[in-house]
Homo-oligomer: A and B are copies of this chain.
Amino acid sequence: DWRSKTGSEIVQFVVVKWTMACLIGICTGLVAFAVNISVENISGLKLLSTLTFLESDRYLAAALVLGGGNLLLVLLSVSLCAFVAPEAAGSGIPEVKAYLNGIDAPNILSPKTLFVKVLGSIGAVSGGLYLGKEAPLLHSGACIASFLTQGGSKRFKLTWKWLRILRHDRLRRDLITCGAAAGIAVAFRAPVGGVIFALEEMASWWRSALLWRVLFTTACVTVVRQAANNLCQGDNCGVFGYGGLIVFDMSVVSTNMGLIALVPAMLLGILGGVLGSLFTFLSRKIAKFYSGWHSKHESLGKVLQALFVSIITSIFIFGLPWLATCTPCPSTASCPSSLPSGAYKRFTCASGYYNDLAGLMLSTNDGAIRILFNNNSNNEFQYFSLVLYLVWAFALALITYGLAIPSGLFLPVILVGATYGRLTGKFLKSHMGFENIDEGLFAYMGAASFLGGSMRIAVSLCVILLELTNNLLMLPWTMLILLISKTVGDLFNVGVYDQIVFIKGFPFLEEKPEPYMKHLTAGDVCSCPAATLSAIERVGNIVEVLRMTDHNGFPVLEMTSAPYPTLHGLILRSHLLVLLQKKDLFSQNASSLIGQDLKSCKVDFYKRGSGKGPTIDDIQLTAQEEDMFLDLHPFTNISPYTISEDMSLAKAFSLFRQLGLRHLCVVPKTKGPFPVSGILTRHDFMPEYVLGLFPHLKVSKWRRL
């Protein structure tokens, strides 16, 4: 509690807060390093042996190594996810976003989830599935932050007094924002981009002070990343692990295309918006189908589904390049090459020729992006190969994203966008007379457009792409394309992350009230009448109320004042549960409690960091105890925010959302026998609930723009 803070406690607070911010950065950096090294080495080994078999024309062995390896890795990943921590499935961004909006879904940030997320991500990415490791890193960062801010653990006797300070809701939320930013910062080598992503897309409440602390965390991540990179220079980290996280250096590309290139750039933006919203729409359908399948077939269904997708992926990876024709090698490069990275893979071609589709298919996803973004590599690809790859990538991204494995969407989206961008660039260059454009640059612009069109993030994507490609001159182009693609996409539907928040049923509070809320009053929707308690209440009644309702906040009424009771304050379920366990507070006689000074009585109300707290069923009371009385006065929040029942719902929403409340007492306009007419909680503001009560409001299709 802040009221009793002394100077030294404030010093403790500051020290712990900043140490934690730094620790979160360091740990996230190390985890990212481990993930990256593992993925690079595992998939590198797999690809190398496949390519070696191919070199010696042993196609069946190559296919078996590739497909079998993929299947095993995916099996590991999906088993962990299905049987150990189902919360680790998916990208994790919607979950963290919901947490930062104030939704305490169970286990989404638990250590178990972290463990599965990291291992599952390694398995899925190195298993060749069409997904990325970036969003899982964000989720891992948030999990690390949550783990570090548990405020000690009773089980492991880590209950140092300083750590207790961490058990403060807002501080935890801030540090989890830091963790999320650290994840993005390390995944994209974008410290500033990570900060802005966390604030634009993740956090529901912004403060300048938070900006500042998040920057500190990403600075720590950057230092760790730099040190890891230095460590891995010169093959110290296994055969293929250079320790570098994805970086697509485009700092040498010429952006001097002339103003005429604005037209194709804008068209690319529109295309990105349309395709992005199509992708979002289809991914919603597929997510619904998958979740039906998951609830019908449970864990085994999840495993089989993932294995099925893995087999399909392997078949296409190995099968599609057969359809491509061989291209003569350019004279400048070492071509064909037998390295696992690089575009010039021989596959089944004769010496001096390369298979362009095999270059994309038989690479890691990071590698494929590097190949597509590559500058000064015009005409490296044939139309047929690019179209085939585009269709394959789009379809596979859709069917992979809903699987019960840790899966990031950034990489597949970038790949799809880069492919159609490169197609556009190639077409413009060879058929439309745009001489001085670079196909690699257009691949980049295509990626930006599809990112904007599907994720609907603007400023942070700008900064991330800027830091990723290390070329400031592309910034105006990137801004233009992102603006157009986001605007076009927003015309059709919401972004892919918001959609998942909706599908998962999180009661997410948007920033603004819905327009129809203007026409309703708080009294129209509140849970009325609320279950109330007296300030001096029989223990049995408290137990009864807790058992019969699932509310988390109860108005406390003062019965003494005539003629009607008045509202004394609000008490939380969690506090009542703690009080019921402290049986020495009970008293035989209600009247003996009146006027008694209980301020000195300290009760430890600290909330546990994660996991479920005790429930009412955990509390055993004798009949005698139930007949005793409990004085709630000292434990009640005596000035809860209240609103009048005739306040418009939109205004009530603003109050509730801006102040981050969990309960809002609705009081009657005129004095009556009940001082509280009801309570508003998060669920009372959900559009589905409100529109269920008042279906005639559903007419307006226009969202507030």
Residue positions of A touching B, CB distance < 8 A: 2-3, 5, 7, 10, 13-14, 191-192, 195-196, 200-201, 206-209, 211-212, 215-216, 218-219, 222-223, 226, 458-459, 462-463, 466-467, 470, 472, 475-476, 479-480, 483, 486, 511, 515, 518-519, 561, 566, 638-639, 641-644, 646-648, 651, 654-655, 658-659, 669-671, 702, 704-705
A475 to B192, Cβ gap below 8 A? Answer: yes
CB distance from A669 to the nearest CB of B (A): 7
Identify which of A14, A515, A639, A654 gathers the most chain B CB atoms within 10 Å of its CB.
A639
A201: nearest chain-B partner, CB-CB: B208
Provided the pairs A215-B459, A222-B476, A476-B223 are in contact, do residues A3 and B518 lie with their beta carbons within 8 angstroms?
A: yes
Complex interface: chain B residues within 8 A of A215 (CB): 458-459, 462, 479, 483
The distance in angstroms between the C-alpha atoms of A446 and B518, with both chains bound, is: 54
| One of B5, B219, B476 near A226 (C-beta < 8 A) | B476
Complex interface: chain B residues within 8 A of A566 (CB): 669-670
Complex interface: chain B residues within 8 A of A462 (CB): 192, 215
A226: nearest chain-B partner, CB-CB: B476
Complex interface: chain B residues within 8 A of A196 (CB): 196
| One of B209, B466, B475, B670 near A561 (C-beta < 8 A) | B670
A206: nearest chain-B partner, CB-CB: B206
CB distance from A241 to the nearest CB of B (A): 22
B671 to A191, Cβ gap below 8 A? Answer: no
A645: nearest chain-B partner, CB-CB: B639
The distance in angstroms between the C-alpha atoms of A222 and B472, with both chains bound, is: 12
Identify 5 new A-B residue pairs, CB closer than 8 A, beyond the known A211-B458, A222-B479, A642-B644. Answer: A191-B475, A467-B475, A641-B655, A655-B655, A658-B658
CB distance from A319 to the nearest CB of B (A): 40
Complex interface: chain B residues within 8 A of A200 (CB): 208, 211
Complex interface: chain B residues within 8 A of A655 (CB): 641, 655, 659
The distance in angstroms between the C-alpha atoms of A215 and B472, with both chains bound, is: 16
| One of B470, B651, B704, B705 near A639 (C-beta < 8 A) | B651
Identify which of A192, A223, A702 gathers the most chain B CB atoms within 10 Å of its CB.
A192
| One of B3, B7, B195, B212 near A702 (C-beta < 8 A) | B7
B480 to A515, Cβ gap below 8 A? Answer: no
A480 to B705, Cβ gap below 8 A? Answer: no
A195 to B3, Cβ gap below 8 A? Answer: no
The distance in angstroms between the C-alpha atoms of A14 and B463, with both chains bound, is: 26
The distance in angstroms between the C-alpha atoms of A625 and B586, with both chains bound, is: 67
A219: nearest chain-B partner, CB-CB: B479
Complex interface: chain B residues within 8 A of A518 (CB): 2-3
Complex interface: chain B residues within 8 A of A2 (CB): 515, 518
Complex interface: chain B residues within 8 A of A459 (CB): 192, 195, 211-212, 215
CB distance from A195 to the nearest CB of B (A): 6
Provided the pairs A219-B476, A515-B2, A646-B638 are in contact, do residues A702 and B211 lie with their beta carbons within 8 angstroms?
A: no
A-B contact pairs, 20 of them (CB 8 A): A10-B704, A10-B705, A192-B466, A195-B459, A200-B208, A212-B458, A212-B486, A216-B483, A219-B476, A222-B475, A222-B476, A561-B670, A566-B669, A638-B646, A639-B647, A639-B648, A639-B651, A641-B643, A642-B643, A655-B655
The distance in angstroms between the C-alpha atoms of A669 and B640, with both chains bound, is: 12
The distance in angstroms between the C-alpha atoms of A216 and B484, with both chains bound, is: 10
Complex interface: chain B residues within 8 A of A515 (CB): 2, 5
The distance in angstroms between the C-alpha atoms of A466 and B647, with both chains bound, is: 48
Complex interface: chain B residues within 8 A of A480 (CB): 219
B519 to A3, Cβ gap below 8 A? Answer: yes
CB distance from A346 to the nearest CB of B (A): 36
Complex interface: chain B residues within 8 A of A479 (CB): 191, 215, 218-219, 222
B3 to A207, Cβ gap below 8 A? Answer: no
A566: nearest chain-B partner, CB-CB: B670
The distance in angstroms between the C-alpha atoms of A658 and B2, with both chains bound, is: 19
The distance in angstroms between the C-alpha atoms of A651 and B669, with both chains bound, is: 22
The distance in angstroms between the C-alpha atoms of A216 and B483, with both chains bound, is: 7
Complex interface: chain B residues within 8 A of A463 (CB): 192, 463
Complex interface: chain B residues within 8 A of A470 (CB): 472
The distance in angstroms between the C-alpha atoms of A519 and B3, with both chains bound, is: 8
Complex interface: chain B residues within 8 A of A669 (CB): 566
| One of B13, B207, B511 near A207 (C-beta < 8 A) | B511
A469: nearest chain-B partner, CB-CB: B472
Complex interface: chain B residues within 8 A of A458 (CB): 211-212, 215
The distance in angstroms between the C-alpha atoms of A651 and B226, with both chains bound, is: 44
CB distance from A224 to the nearest CB of B (A): 11
B659 to A654, Cβ gap below 8 A? Answer: yes
The distance in angstroms between the C-alpha atoms of A219 and B423, with both chains bound, is: 26
Complex interface: chain B residues within 8 A of A223 (CB): 476
Complex interface: chain B residues within 8 A of A206 (CB): 206
The distance in angstroms between the C-alpha atoms of A10 and B704, with both chains bound, is: 8
Complex interface: chain B residues within 8 A of A476 (CB): 191, 219, 222-223, 226
CB distance from A78 to the nearest CB of B (A): 34
A225: nearest chain-B partner, CB-CB: B476
Complex interface: chain B residues within 8 A of A219 (CB): 476, 479-480, 483
The 7 closest A-B pairs by CB, nearest first: A639-B647, A658-B658, A219-B479, A206-B206, A14-B705, A222-B476, A3-B518
Complex interface: chain B residues within 8 A of A702 (CB): 7, 10
The distance in angstroms between the C-alpha atoms of A670 and B207, with both chains bound, is: 36
The distance in angstroms between the C-alpha atoms of A2 and B704, with both chains bound, is: 10
A472 to B483, Cβ gap below 8 A? Answer: no
The distance in angstroms between the C-alpha atoms of A475 and B476, with both chains bound, is: 20
Identify which of A195, A200, A206 gathers the most chain B CB atoms within 10 Å of its CB.
A206
Complex interface: chain B residues within 8 A of A658 (CB): 658-659
Complex interface: chain B residues within 8 A of A654 (CB): 659
The distance in angstroms between the C-alpha atoms of A160 and B463, with both chains bound, is: 39
Complex interface: chain B residues within 8 A of A519 (CB): 3
The distance in angstroms between the C-alpha atoms of A476 and B226, with both chains bound, is: 9
A480: nearest chain-B partner, CB-CB: B219
